[in-house]
Amino acid sequence: MTEAVSQEPADAVEPDHETWIVIPLYNEASVIGGVVSELSAYFDHIVCIDDGSTDGSAEVAQAAGARVIRHPVNLGQGAALQTGISYVVSQPGARYIVTFDADGQHRIEDALGMLRVAREHDLAIVFGSRFLDDRTQPGIAKKIILKTAVWVTNRTTGLRLTDAHNGLRVIRVDAARLIDLQQDRMAHATEIVLKLGRTKLPWEEYPVELLYTDYSKAKGQSILNSVNILVDLLVR
């Protein structure tokens, strides 16, 4: 497989009704409306899987224009992703899935660029990577944890990724049909790489920038998620 090492302007892409955005959603009421509204300018189909939120996130997402599927209790991000993927692959005309975080850390420009590359290079999977350039500055501790997770994931899956736990991905529907995530929580990030790798379908990485906002830092996501990833990798 090849890895993309350059980035072309993303604004040349004009996504159509074939592309579906899948957003796992848990207690992000203060930001999800803005995320959905911004995505709606480019994408017709946005699906939020509300994973047992208690802060009204589902209502905010729906008001902003997203379709909302609800888990009655919190099952974890992996379960939410699988629910969203299963929903999209059953939709007539669906060709691409973009997995996108609810907290505002992902950039729409990167999603558009990844879709363009998927179409132009006839790829089944495009993995976003924050380590193909130096725009993202995660901090020393987080970077060490993420690099360790990459090493473990690459040894486990046989792929050679630079960023194994980035939630921004483009997955063509034929590849998505072969995914059946069993890890509900953070370990799903390694599991999805493993199962996509087993498809033997063509893939590339694409350089993306993650926005570590004051909001995400206040929630502790800048380091806590990385620790959770590493713990899940070691335990499972």
Task: Give per-residue pLDDT as tens, 174-218.
Answer: 999 999 888 766 677 778 888 888 888 999 999 999 887 777 666
Q: Tell me, what's the pLDDT at 196?
A: 86
Q: CA 75 → CA 48, 82, 191, distances in Å?
A: 14, 11, 16
Q: Is the pLDDT of residue 38 over 90?
A: yes
Q: Tell me, what's the pLDDT at 225?
A: 58
Q: Tell me, what's the pLDDT at 17?
A: 85
Quickly count: other Cβ atoms within 10 Å of residue 160's Cβ.
10
Answer yes or no: are the C-beta atoms of 3 and 160 closer than 8 Å.
yes
The span from the CA of 195 to the CA of 199, in Å, is: 7
Q: Tell me, what's the pLDDT at 33?
A: 98
Query: pLDDT category, 133, cuts 50, 70, 90?
Result: confident
Q: Tell me, what's the pLDDT at 56?
A: 97
Q: Tell me, what's the pLDDT at 80?
A: 95
Task: Give per-residue pLDDT as tens, 164-179.
Answer: 778 999 999 999 999 9
The span from the CA of 171 to the CA of 94, in Å, is: 11
Mean pLDDT of 92-113: 96
Task: Give per-residue pLDDT as tens, 55-74.
Answer: 999 999 999 999 999 999 99
Answer yes or no: are the C-beta atoms of 79 and 3 closer than 8 Å.
no
Q: Which residues in 80-105 are b (16+ Cβ under 10 Å) and which e? A: bbbbbbebbbeeeebbbbbbbbbbbb
Between 152 and 19, the higher pLDDT residue: 19
Q: Is the pLDDT of residue 105 over 80?
A: yes
Mean pLDDT of 70-99: 96
Q: Tell me, what's the pLDDT at 200?
A: 87
Between 135 and 171, the higher pLDDT residue: 171
Domains of the chain, start order: 14-235 (3.90.550.10)
Between strands 125-129 and 203-207, the pairing is parallel
Task: Give per-residue pLDDT as tens, 7-31.
Answer: 444 444 454 689 999 999 999 999 9
